[in-house]
């Protein structure tokens, strides 16, 4: 009986699975995914947005652009197209420090708002603000 027990015990030791190749494979896959992944830094726009409590009055020399919820642009009381926005802002800019104030509807598309700010920046505007209503 003792011989049979020693034989069974010996078979149990040989049944163990070696985990070293599995761990090596996991580390190789981890290194592969880290090396092949792309890390991109989002580029944002520097804008100053006044909060509703600290909203001040708008100076009359600022360039005012209105964005409706349907995506239409208005400036100086008339509709303008998105394609002519850059030339409009560059013509209206008297000084390099003149601000552009965008009055966007609450339901306006954020992508349209970002495109408008980008076009204003490309036209040479250094200060771009979003208009809010004070409480």
pTM over 0.85: no
The DSSP 8-state label assigned to residue 16 in this structure reads P
From the list 65, 128, 127, 57, the residue with the least C-alpha distance to 97 is 127
CB atoms within 10 A of CB 82: 13
- For each of the chain's 135 residues, which pLDDT tens digit applies? 555 555 555 555 567 788 899 999 999 999 999 988 877 554 433 333 344 555 555 555 788 888 887 888 888 778 888 888 888 888 888 877 788 888 888 778 888 888 988 988 888 888 888 877 665
Nearest-angstrom CA–CA distance, 76 and 4: 100
């Amino acid at each position: 009986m003792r011989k049979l027990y020693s034989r069974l015990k010996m078979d149990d030791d040989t049944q163990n699975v070696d985990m070293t190749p599995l761990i090596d494979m996991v580390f190789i896959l981890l290194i592969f995914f880290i090396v092949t992944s792309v890390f991109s830094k989002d580029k944002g726009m520097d804008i100053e947005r006044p909060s509703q409590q600290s909203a001040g009055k708008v100076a009359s020399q600022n360039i005012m652009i209105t964005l409706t919820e349907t995506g239409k642009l208005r400036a100086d009381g008339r509709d303008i197209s998105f394609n002519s926005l850059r030339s409009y802002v560059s013509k209206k800019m008297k000084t390099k420090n003149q601000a552009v104030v965008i009055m966007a509807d609450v339901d306006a598309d954020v992508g349209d708002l970002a495109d408008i700010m980008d076009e204003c920046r490309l036209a040479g505007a250094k200060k771009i603000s979003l208009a809010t209503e004070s409480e």
